Structure 1
């Protein structure tokens, strides 16, 4: 081999070996053990076996036919591995669904039974003239189905790539890398220049090392959503109801909301709980922030003043209920009531006239 061939062999062979090691790691590791991780591991193992066979065949055309059969058998598993990896990464199932197992089992069974009944060593023409059409046809179908599955992410890649996070970029890397590998093998099989046959192994090596970079960087295989985070434990209903009653009583009887400098901790002291507990009560049990809770009291009182004290200006009413400025009062009024103080007053006048 000349220097160029040696480099080509080294890059491709190392890619195949490292792909097998990474696939085994993802399949067995407990650190990122998820359905997506397992399926990505299987995908890398299938690709590595296919690529390894290609490298050996390219540099040794007299390769044993059993190796050729193993390579095509692994090729039959690449498509479903890609599709179900992407599907599991998006849908995040806790365990592999039974239907996926049936589909996998059926396809694996077909290729293994076919290889047992008509081994490549005895029937090479069947593999080269019949089985190869089935293998590449199935692979192509899964590549198309996978592209449809992540079509929105593909669209974002060409319109607004900045909107994609690292996890979604990893999905696209795996998908597009598989597309290049598939096309490399397809055009070589059709009969175009033979060197294109090595496009698959080289593309796989580059895809593998970039994928390893994503994994080392800590990228998850699945998008994290708020639902993935453990829900914070709410205060027990009995305690929450008692504290809520004490809170409302303290605010109403002492007109605490009229204090423009009222703070969360000030209010918490009135019912003998910590600021953290009051914040949890308001956010988790009552579903509102401290500012919203106080603003509701202030705006309700402002509505009463607009109705009963029509000689007061809106600015005066705002100061009376606890606001330091007219603009803050107007903003809070619109947020709570969905209208302005002036329109609210007009509606009242129409009702009473």
Structure 2
């Protein structure tokens, strides 16, 4: 009996403090972040589900509205976990439309199902179908989140590219959610032969307090534990250095005719310059207000115009391939964008100018 009360205490206090943290992340935190928003939803949904599990396990005579709210909260756990993981590994400036409509969809479904088929009068429907549907949604999002984090799992034993602290936290939060989901699913499928119903509550409480303790103990660590380090804004290059690098880059492109390589990439060009690829992109963006493709295509079209003007015997399509384009359509599109006319019209104009000059002479 004492053991049961200890489990009740651990689960209940975890659920309560989970709600407190959810309110903090959603409304009180001075540093509003997208991962923090989804973490708040995740903590709120888990706390409601776990609070219901703890209360029912130790008091089966609770009002049925508690059961309905606790079960309905499961519809939000999976989506919140997935978008928390996504926004942590793929930082975005604002909530994506996909996240908004999916969260709204499941919240609306939970409210609608609760109003049309209340648990109090449809216990059999909830017990046989609705709860299984809710858990299926939960599992699908858990799997999707795992796929989202697969690159981090692949680096667990890496020595050349080890995980950062924030990435370890992210995997820890995901792993604890997998265990919580597993414990509830097992309890649902094998409720007659095993007692894992309160397992999710215990796991949640242990993980929650471990995170709080470590966060407070290592308070000197920069940033929040649920966020990957923010991308830093690259420093602007000095003007003189930028001009010199652009001049060297232009000479390299002209002398080695690197643009003729249809498979040329920014990484390969950066290797020729002995600079990181991100620095090359920054150089083109700040110095010329161009991206890599526009820059390379400028050399290709310039060479194509020279070949057309010189009366090269190649067909226009062949000239496109010769200067580095891998298809006729991309050549014609780039030519029109850069020169304002088509290769055919450009050739006709060149021929007419030559004829005119010959007639005058």
Quote the residue 1:195 is aligned against: 195
Pick the aligned partner of 2:227 from 207, 222, 228.
222
**How far apart are 1:64 and its partner, in Å?**
1.2
- Would you say the 8 A contact 1:92–1:222 is kept in 2? no
SS in 1 for 2:154: helix
Q: Which residue matches 1:268?
A: none
What is the alpha-carbon distance in structure 2 between the residues aligned to residue 131 and residue 43 of structure 1? 21
Compute the TM-score of the two structures, normalised by the length of structure 2: 0.62
Q: Could you tell me which residue of structure 2 aligns to residue 186 of structure 1?
A: 185
Question: Which residue number corresponds to residue 204 of structure 1?
Answer: 204
CA 1:56 to 1:189, structure 2 compared with 1: closer, same or farther past 3 Å? same
Identify if the C-alpha distance between structure 1 residues 98 and 51 changes in structure 2 by more than 3 Å, giving closer, same or farther: same
- Once residues 87 and 37 of structure 1 are traced to their aligned partners in structure 2, the CA distance between those partners, rounded to angstroms, is 12
Tell me the alpha carbon deviations over residues 128-179 of structure 1, each in whole angstroms, 9 at most, x when there is no partner.
1110111010011011111111012123225559811110011111110001
Counterparts of residues 136-215 of structure 1 (less than 5 Å) = 136-158=135-157, 163-192=162-191, 193-215=193-215
More helix by share: 1
**Are 2:88 and 1:89 aligned?**
yes
Find the structure with the greater CA-based Rg: 1
Q: CA RMSD in A?
A: 2.6
Aligned residues: 241
Distance 1:146 1:161, change over 3 A: farther
Matches within 5 A, 1:129-140: 129-140=128-139
TM-superposed deviation, 1:223: 2.1
- Partner SS for 1:196: coil
How far residue 61 of structure 1 moved from its aligned partner, in angstroms, is 1.1
Q: Which runs of 4 or more aligned residues in structure 1 lie more than 6 Å from their structure 2 counterparts after TM superposition?
A: none
Q: CA deviation at 1:211?
A: 2.5
Change (3 A) 1:32 1:169: farther
Structure 1 residue 212: deviation in Å?
2.1
Cα displacement (A) at 1:31: 3.6
Kindly state the Cα deviation for residue 214 of structure 1 after the two structures are TM-superposed.
Answer: 4.9
TM-score by length of 1: 0.63
**C-alpha distance in 1, partners of 2:161/2:57?**
40
The aligned counterpart of 2:113 is 114
Structure 2: runs of 5 or more not aligned: 245-281, 287-361
Farther-moved stretch of structure 1 (25-34 vs 175-184): 25-34
